[in-house]
Chains A and B, each alone.
Chain A
Amino acid sequence: MSVVMPYGDTTGDGMVQLSFTLPMPHSKVAEGSALQLAHKMGMDPALVVHAKPMGPDFTFFVVYGRVNHVVDPSTVVVVERDYPLLTPKEVNAAVKRSLRRRLTVVGACIGTDAHTVGIDAILNIKGFAGEKGLEYYRELKVVNLGAQVSVPQLVDRARAEKADAVLVSQVVTQRDAHLLNTREMSAAFRESYPSDRRPLLIVGGPRFDENMAVELGVDRVFGRGTTPGEVASFIAHRLAGAKVAS
């Protein structure tokens, strides 16, 4: 089978469900507007199965309907995970075995970006999506520099801490700030380290394209929804030789 489309209860029926809110009072016009939106989104036929007023100014809709779009999976480009997903215990064991010391991770939000939510989700023990952050890993030493760290500060701190890996989070994307900052960062690290000694450079943020690692001069780009476990596993894979489980 080369192409796919959504499956409701029959192959090829293309059925999807959709819910959304319109900022208008509930009325026949509101329901008609919901239907028109569904049509414009490619749902045809579409059926408004639920419409509920939420206060005087908003209406919530659930729409079921058929889409006619098809997807050819052979044309889909993704960054496949090329490293095994490890538990914190396995990461700790791999680091202990291969480095015989703790692995140092330095993290920061660079530039004027004050949004530490991403870096904190990955580093703080509280973690994200039910996974504990890197601080929880006994064999990882985490230095979280927080927000608004300049690139020279980051390089200095990475050198002082003898960082094995550097994690940079970028949330703000105004005028492509995230891309410019990342390029500046990777260039600074290339300049101040011999190429075989440079720490692993990892950048993450909700608006990054995971395919851009080479272009940005970093070892890995992580996009939206990345969990601490994925980052820790990647670091262990690259620096502590954790092998892909066959």
Chain B
Amino acid sequence: MARAPKGKLDLDPATVRHARSLARKAGRPIVTLAKKHTTVAVERATLRLAGLSGADDEGSPWVNRLMDTVRADVGLEHGVALPVWDALLRHEAEDLTTLAQKAAAGSVTFRLPEGKDADRARAASRRQVARGLKTVDKRRVERDRLIRRHGDAPRQPWIYLIVATGDIYEDIPQAQQAAREGADVIAVIRSTGQSLLDFVPEGATREGYAGTYATQENFRLMRAALDQSSKELGRYVRLTNYASGLCMPEIAALAGLERLDMMLNDSMYGILFRDINPIRTFVDQRFSRQVHARAGIIINTGEDNYLTTADAIEAAHTVTTSQLLNEYFAKEAGLEDWQLGLGHAFEIDPAVPDSFRLELAHALLAREVFPHAPLKWMPPTRHMTGDVFKGNLLDGFFNLAGALTGQGILLVGMMTEAVVTPWISDRDIALQNVRYVMEAAGRLHEDFHPAPDGVINRRARQVLGESIELLDTIVDDGLLDAIASGTFGLMKRPADAGRGLEGVAAKSSAYYNPATEILDAQEVL
């Protein structure tokens, strides 16, 4: 007797298990590598968790000034905690900020403490960093409480909308307006180029290009504004930003401290699209994911980006492969299924016959391979032109595919993609598009059962098969080599090149970092 079909695609569970085990095999050496290294950004994030904030007159953050001095005196390989808290215990300064100021002025010399001095420095740093992580824990409880009080988003997919004026004080009313019009999640796009800054700017910012700088104060202001909106609307409105680029661990820490709810966080995006050194990225990635796991933040991965450079049909299996890798790295860092907004996108050339059927096949494949993850569904960008009318139609089909395949997070497509940063009316038109599709066809998935041997089923199985072949090669060659040879998004990124490599060090035997200690052990504080 034939077994009952599983899901809409009837994927063979053994094949899916096999794909997962290959991803694990490919990812494990990377995790080992990540554990053996630290970066300036991980150490600065540790200082931020210990409560160090602010910047000098030139806008250079104190965490950078302190880190740079420590590194010049004793190196990066032992971590920042031992030398810094040793200096505090030697009464070089009464607190971290004063110490950073003195370090910047050149009036403190750091050393690597040994024996009893090292024990004391470890204990003191641990106490102070634990306070920061406790704040992160409190923010998570606070989020749960607010969701209970105001209620959650009324349906899935959650409607995710971007604001990006460059001025946080313009972003706020736009975000509140977007929430009123139905957005469940607000993302504040970062200023172009922030991912390549090796520091996090400070304070409320009013000047950005094609986006607004991610700063702790901007996070706080926007979260407070959306708390107001949540109260007004009777549903909790989530806030998203970007833990990517050279400062990803610090941004993750700030997000945890300021109760952001979702963060863009992809294991390979920085390598591929920003030419950041692969080792720097994987080390920073692991730390930032651990912080997100603890903070109860949902991550959004960036597979959609592959399809902006590679062809969405030819490269469909690289998306699945990357999703499997992102899932492995996420779980290893302590994230749970509900926190995995695995990305994919509606980027097939609309001129290709059957393009919509193929989109459905790819979207459904992601849905069924990751049944418990809130998938992040990204709108068309590559084939959006100045023809805003056609763009609006394409966005409608994108919304329909999202509804039919049970996507968890739907980034609202703008008809003015590739034309302008969205105007207030563009958002209104886009939300009207989403609302219409959801009301007209939101439950159509109940009636949607692709024929067992139809185009959709065959295509999904083919993509899964190709992604297994690719994973096989990656396991054989090693993931770093696969990245170096241009497997993802057609970009070739060797492990010994790329930005930020100078900020990486192999850990010494004396290395200590209280944040990683607590995060690794998932310790209850």
Contacts and interface: CB of A to CB of B under 8 A. Distances in A.
Residue among A19, A20, A129, A132 with max Cβ neighbours from chain B (10 Å): A129
Contact of B192 (A57, A116, A225): A116
Contact of A126 (B210, B308, B383, B386): B308
Contacts of B273: 124-126
B309 A55 contact: no
A146 B385 contact: no
Contacts of B83: none
A127 interface: yes
B424 A54 contact: yes
A114 interface: yes
Given A127-B309, A171-B209, A54 B177 contact: yes
Nearest to A128: B418
Contact of B309 (A120, A129, A132, A147): A132
A55 B181 contact: yes
B461 interface: no
A244 to B, nearest CB: 25
B192 A117 contact: yes
Interface in B348-387: 382-386
B317 to A, nearest CB: 19
B212 interface: no
A21 B308 contact: no
* Chain A interface extent, by class: 20 to 34
B518 interface: no
B436 interface: no
A53 to B, nearest CB: 10
A125 B306 CA distance: 10
A69 interface: no
Contacts of A132: 309
Nearest to A124: B273
Nearest to B491: A125
A58 B424 contact: yes
B428 A54 contact: yes
A60 B428 contact: yes
Interface string B22-50: 00000000000000000000000000000
A171 B425 CA distance: 25
A20 B429 CA distance: 12
A129 B193 contact: no
B420 to A, nearest CB: 11
Contacts, number: 61
Contacts of B428: 52, 54, 60
A55 B210 CA distance: 24
Nearest to A131: B382
A interface SS class: loop
Contacts of A20: 425
Nearest to A148: B193
A100 to B, nearest CB: 22
Contact of B418 (A58, A115, A130): A130
A225 B419 CA distance: 9
A136 interface: yes
Interface in B405-451: 418, 423-425, 428
A128 B384 CA distance: 11
Given A54-B181, A55-B177, A125 B490 contact: yes
Given A52-B428, A55-B181, A120 B385 contact: no
Interface in A109-164: 114-117, 120, 124-130, 132, 135-136, 146-147
Nearest to A225: B386
A135 B492 CA distance: 10
B309 A146 contact: no
A235 B209 CA distance: 28
B230 interface: no
Interface string B474-513: 0000000000000001110000000000000000000000
Contact of A130 (B177, B192, B383): B383
Interface string B306-325: 00110000000000000000
B180 interface: yes
Contacts of A114: 193, 209
B305 interface: yes
B309 A125 contact: yes
B424 A21 contact: yes
B196 interface: yes
Given A57-B177, A120-B192, 4 more contacts: A21-B425, A115-B193, A130-B418, A132-B309
25 contacts: A21-B423, A21-B424, A52-B428, A54-B181, A54-B425, A55-B177, A57-B177, A58-B177, A58-B424, A114-B209, A117-B209, A120-B192, A120-B193, A125-B489, A125-B490, A126-B273, A127-B308, A129-B418, A130-B382, A130-B384, A130-B385, A130-B418, A146-B196, A147-B193, A171-B209
User: Lowest 6 CB-CB distances: which A-B pairs, in order?
Assistant: A117-B192, A115-B209, A60-B425, A21-B425, A54-B428, A130-B382
Interface of A: 19-21, 52, 54-55, 57-58, 60, 114-117, 120, 124-130, 132, 135-136, 146-147, 171, 225
